[in-house]
Structure 1
Amino acid sequence: MVKISLQIKANLENIDELYTIHPNYNFLLKIKCLSCGEVSDKWHDVTESQTYPTKMGKSEVHYLAKCKLCSRENSLDIIPGSNGKFTSNSGGKFVTLVTFDCRGIEPIEFSPAEGWIARVEESGKVFDDVDLSEKEWADYDDKANQSVGIYEFESQFIKVK
């Protein structure tokens, strides 16, 4: 089992916090089989609130798939309580959003899509269901009379102990 964290960073304009709607957020991932090296060409949904039964090991996992090339059954779990937030105090550094417990596979690419929450500290306004599929988003906070936005969204995966 390998634990891999998804980390994000972005430039926030008048946004204090950026995070996902856990446990219902669909993490869109591209996956690599560690047995044969096959990389998926499709995006795979991994959601903490959805589980699948397995034949061996753990009884249920958040993602289960058989490799198309080597036929090995691989799985992935979202570690409960591993969800984090990217804040305006992050100082342009990558911050862990979620950690996956991987068995036979590892995520190699992430697509942010929709379902994010952006909170404005000054006015207390919350923008829910923010769509980051274009890796940027902009709106207007009518309470504070200012523009808000998320720009230059980036992600990376790191192995953790």
Structure 2
Amino acid sequence: MYALTLSAELAGVTNLRPKDTQENNFFYTFKVQCTSCREIHPKPIAISRFEMNEISGSRGEANFVWRCKNCKREASATINAAPTAYEQTEPAKAQKILEFDCRGLEFTEFIPEGEWLADGVESNTKFEGIELTEGEWFDYDEKAGEEVSIKDLKWEIVRA
């Protein structure tokens, strides 16, 4: 079992989460490595918790199934549950966002591509279309009359 954790400085917003619903799949993007031969996949992979793929030998299904080009072993990963929203804290502390089970592979890096959502702390303003690939996000909360931001993002993949 592994978990994706996030630590970030949130100003004026809370409940940071990916827009991940049955209607709007969020594709979690990772760099992946084979645990058998340590070969690193040349390109990042994208995995959705709503898509299932067959594991060969009728061993069930997983969200992501990959055969290493180097050692030819099959590996898989499954996202165990819906993502958990990141809550604003002072000071910022690491919180588990996503939990997944990997067999024969490791996710070595998370790439925060895709649409994220957040809520205004005081105003409950709903912020959509948040892009985190640049490592920060700034906006203005009209109801609260103040700037809001997400900065100092630190993603880590840890054993759960």
Change (3 A) 1:68 1:96: same
CA contact (8 A) 1:52 1:61 kept: yes
Counterpart CA distance in 2 for 1:108 and 1:30 is 5
1:18 aligns to what?
Answer: 16
How far off its partner does 1:92 sit? 1.5
In the superposition, relative to structure 1, how do residues 90 and 80 fare at CA in structure 2: closer, same or farther (>3 Å)? Answer: farther
Give the CA RMSD over aligned residues.
Answer: 1.4
> Where does 1:1-161 land on structure 2 (aligned, <5 Å)?
3-23=1-21, 24-56=25-57, 58-81=59-82, 83-89=83-89, 91-160=91-160
Moved beyond 6 Å, runs of 4+: none
Instruction: State the shift of 1:39 in Å.
Output: 1.1
Aligned-pair CA distance for 1:91: 3.5
Equivalent pairs counted in the alignment come to 157
Q: What is the CA distance between 1:31 and its match in structure 2?
A: 0.5
**Contact 2:62–2:77 (8 Å) recurs in 1:** yes
Where 2:10 maps in the other structure, the secondary structure is strand
Matched residue type, 2:148: V
Cα deviation, residue 100, structure 1: 0.9
TM-score by length of 1: 0.91
Runs of 5+ consecutive residues of structure 1 not aligned to the other structure: none
Aligned residue for 2:89, secondary structure, equals helix
d(CA) in 1 for partners of 2:90, 2:11: 13
Question: With structure 2 as the length reference, what TM-score do the two structures score?
Answer: 0.92
Q: Which runs of 5+ in 2 are unaligned?
A: none
State the Cα distance separating 1:80 from its structure 2 match.
Answer: 2.2
State percent identity of aligned pairs. 29
Distance 2:129 2:39 in 1: 33
Determine helix, strand or coil for the equivalent of 1:35: coil
Report the Cα distance in structure 1 between the residues aligned to 2:92 and 2:3, rounded to whole angstroms: 18
Following the alignment from structure 2 to structure 1, what is the Cα–Cα distance between the partners of residues 15 and 148?
A: 12
